Homo-oligomer: A and B are copies of this chain.
């Protein structure tokens, strides 16, 4: 039992092809990375840990685990309207497994290249499998959670429910019929960080976040931070076809309170709604911000609707 940080060197070879982008003065290999921050922008930074058999099956494809770990973090940048710059990887592994590491590195670097983000540092330790990634981006027009105002329209991007509906398939649970495993794995492991949508709404939206825990729970975070409440029309939710295909009647519930889709939920002042609609984004209005104390009221055919499980509880 000894502390020996900074030993990313031992697995550095696996990441030798990591893209090195603008602003990286010194990358992996010294006590610190040295980075030149962009002028005229704020830095946005977020850290997430994924634990084996809690956030992903330990036996999953290492490339898919890596892709998801980085995409989930990039989604936090999108939620703030920040453009990706750099990330670090803290990887805890039960043992050094060359084949696993190679696949993990391939998945990670493919994702890094796709989003133009540089791996600038890391740590590897021996222990139960877990992955901690911290991303940093630059933001000129950051979107926060605390800017929603009474009367604002509530929007969501893309489609909801696919990742939650895909989870039983990803976990190998027995399901009726022949589920589309490829589509399920794509929905769960390869969420699309909504960076372009965030950039488009940076001047328009009053608040935003990414939907990781479920729409109702996450919109609740906007409402709590902003000191308002929200009314949501469930019929307006953009339910993913894959959710209907995999979950049937439960698709709407998964769209409302399932997580892991990493779409954006954002609010738009009424005077900006016409401007937003002209952009032709893949985003729909699902409700309105109202007076209140952080509550989200979901309505279905004129009746209040309550999810069976209201978002993810961490402990």
Binding site for B on A (CB under 8 A): 1-7, 9-10, 25-26, 29-37, 42-57, 68, 72-73, 76-77, 79-80, 82, 86, 88-90, 92-93, 95-96, 120-128, 130, 132, 134, 137, 139, 142, 144-146, 167, 171, 209-210, 212-213, 221, 225, 259-260, 312, 314-315
Cα A44 to Cα B121 in complex, Å, equals 10
Cα A51 to Cα B3 in complex, Å, equals 9
A-B CB contact pairs (8 Å), 14 listed = A6-B76, A6-B212, A26-B142, A29-B145, A32-B46, A34-B42, A34-B139, A47-B123, A47-B134, A48-B123, A49-B132, A51-B125, A88-B134, A124-B315
A315 touching B29, Cβ below 8 Å: no
Q: Which of B121, B209, B260 contacts A2 (CB 8 A)?
A: B260
Cα A126 to Cα B145 in complex, Å, equals 25
State the Cβ distance, A49 to closest chain B Cβ, in Å.
Answer: 5
A3 touching B212, Cβ below 8 Å: yes
Q: Which of B6, B51, B96 contacts A48 (CB 8 A)?
A: B6
- Each complex incorporates copies of this chain amounting to 2
Cα A282 to Cα B47 in complex, Å, equals 37
A49-B132, A51-B127, A92-B51 in contact; A33/B25 too (CB < 8 A)? no
